[in-house]
Amino acid sequence: MPVATTSPVADYTVSSWRRGASLYLEHPFINGARWFRYMSRRLWPGRVLRFTDGSGNRYLSMKNNFTSFAVAVLGERDPNVMRFLRRWVRPGFVACDIGANIGTYTVPLARLVGPAGHVISFEPNRATCACLRQNIRQNRLANVTLLRAAAGPVSGMAGLIVTADNLGEVHLSPPGGAETARVRVTTVDAEVTRLGLKHVNFIKIDVEGFELAALRGATVTLSQNANLIVQTEIVPAHSARYGFDVMDLVNFFAALGCHPFTCDPLGRFHPVDTAAPGAEADWFWARSADVFN
């Protein structure tokens, strides 16, 4: 699986701090020390590194991976979202982690839903999936179904593009585009049916612009679970590669009776003004604000 070479430090010393500067500055000395420890491990010989999050969960990761950087430095991925999930998720909930990366949502979600709950993790990239599998194993999570597959509108095969700057930021190849590897594609509806799951409470989807296409393979699940919350990454430049924009996502969810919200640093939710959206990276879709309570 060829990827371009990159400097082991330059790609993160600027971009990673810029992407989360406000969070890092909440505890500058603690996070600075964590940053130094993480970067030192990245420079150490070997292809992978190990670290723990703020709850003691253990992770194995590829070295060039922004997600692992964020967890190692901040203690968790997306702290504002995690504050909400710790309050809202109940034992027995079912969650889908689409674009699971190394499991920085899968692992805490599996802890929160407990033995009576279930997490389905979709991760198509071979190297990333290998780390995810090890992280599920070493944290002794028996309630996770791991799929080395992408989520899409229909089942089949697709091309995958892997870049060296961020090995966790892989994406499916647009029609006619170059590809690094071929991967299996399945649908959320097919996997929920195959596993015999009676309900789904939460879907987190971060697939570098392919969100709408993947959600088209989850329409039955979205329709049959009235209190379902869906978390989607919103990056217009990413979705444009597949020929759609934010309003296409708004219209898709509107047809299902869902509206967009954003999560503030305290884990509280606020409606999105789709006529003048802010710069938030994640939107949360629900039929009512009451679902978040």
Q: Is 146 helix (H, G, I), strand (E, B) or coil?
A: strand
Task: Give the pLDDT confidence score for residue 261 in this predicted structure.
Answer: 97
60-81 pLDDT, tens per residue?
998 888 888 889 888 899 989 9
Task: Give the pLDDT confidence score for residue 69 in this predicted structure.
Answer: 82
Task: Give the pLDDT confidence score for residue 40 in this predicted structure.
Answer: 81
Would residue 278 be called left, alpha or beta, if left means φ above 0 and alpha means ψ between -120 and 50 degrees? beta
Q: What are phi and psi of 202, to 5 degrees?
A: -145, 135
- Cα separation, 238 vs 22, whole angstroms: 23
Q: What are phi and psi of 229, to 5 degrees?
A: -115, 135
Task: Give the pLDDT confidence score for residue 41 in this predicted structure.
Answer: 77
Instruction: Report, as ranges of residue numbers, the positions in the chain whose pLDDT lies below 50.
Output: 1-19
Task: Give the pLDDT confidence score for residue 36 in this predicted structure.
Answer: 79
Task: Give the pLDDT confidence score for residue 22 in this predicted structure.
Answer: 64
**DSSP secondary structure letter of residue 243:** T
The total number of residues written for the chain in this structure: 293
- Cα separation, 37 vs 143, whole angstroms: 32
Fold of the domain built from segment(s) 77-292: Rossmann fold (3.40.50)
- In one letter, which amino acid is 168? G
Task: Give the pLDDT confidence score for residue 37 in this predicted structure.
Answer: 80
Task: Give the pLDDT confidence score for residue 10 in this predicted structure.
Answer: 39
Task: Give the pLDDT confidence score for residue 1 in this predicted structure.
Answer: 41
Domain residue limits, the chain: 77-292
